[in-house]
Structure 1
Amino acid sequence: MKSFIITVLVALFFFLALIFGARNEQVVTISYFIAQGEFRLPIVLAVVFLVGFLISWMFAMYHIGKLKLMLHTANKKNQRLENKKDSSLVPEIDV
């Protein structure tokens, strides 16, 4: 549910950026390494917002995946130690 709310908020911010850009129909010049281009402001705002979101999402997924892997290995180690403890507590009966 939390991820759904965050997704809705991001979509809302994206939509607000588009509305803001639609009201400002200026042409902006963007210079990059080997070329230069003229684009409408709404397109520039949408692309920059989307690229920033995707980069942030990739970093977040990397860190979340790393934490999940660490949690999985810690749970495995904990389970192995609990099994070892349980087997050492069971008294052996010789008949």
Structure 2
Amino acid sequence: MKALLITALVAVFFVVAMAFGARNDQVITLNYFIARGEFSLPMVLAATFFSGFVISWLITMALMLGQRFKLGRITARNQQLEKRIAELESNDTNA
């Protein structure tokens, strides 16, 4: 449900950005590292929004993947410790 809400929110922002861009038909000049280009404002807005979304998504996925690996290691260590506790308890009852 949370993912659906976030996706809907992103879609709304994208539509608002496109509506804003559609009302501004002017051409802008972008100077970047090695070149220079003239682009329409809606195209620049859409590309900027999309690239920001993709970068944010990649960072989030990397962080989530790290957390899953950490959770897996902690779960394995927890199982080892529970097994050792069970062995110690069985040795304690036998003594």
Q: Same fold (TM over 0.5)?
A: yes
In the alignment, structure 1 segments of 5+ residues that lack a partner are: none
Note the alpha carbon deviations across 1:5-53, whole angstroms, 9 max, x for none: 1011111101110011001111110011222111110000000000011
Match of 1:11 in 2: 11
- Normalising by structure 2, we get a TM-score of 0.91
* Separation (CA, whole Å) in 2 of partners of 1:16 and 1:88: 63
Kindly, what percent of the aligned residue pairs are identical?
A: 45
Q: Does 1:56 align with 2:50?
A: no
Question: In the TM superposition, what is the alpha-carbon distance from 1:79 to its structure 2 partner?
Answer: 0.9
Between structures 1 and 2, the one with greater helix share: 2
Question: In the TM superposition, what is the alpha-carbon distance from 1:92 to its structure 2 partner?
Answer: 3.7
- Normalising by structure 1, we get a TM-score of 0.91
* Separation (CA, whole Å) in 2 of partners of 1:53 and 1:15: 14
* Separation (CA, whole Å) in 1 of partners of 2:53 and 2:37: 23
Match of 1:87 in 2: 87
Cα RMSD of the aligned pairs, angstroms, is 1.2
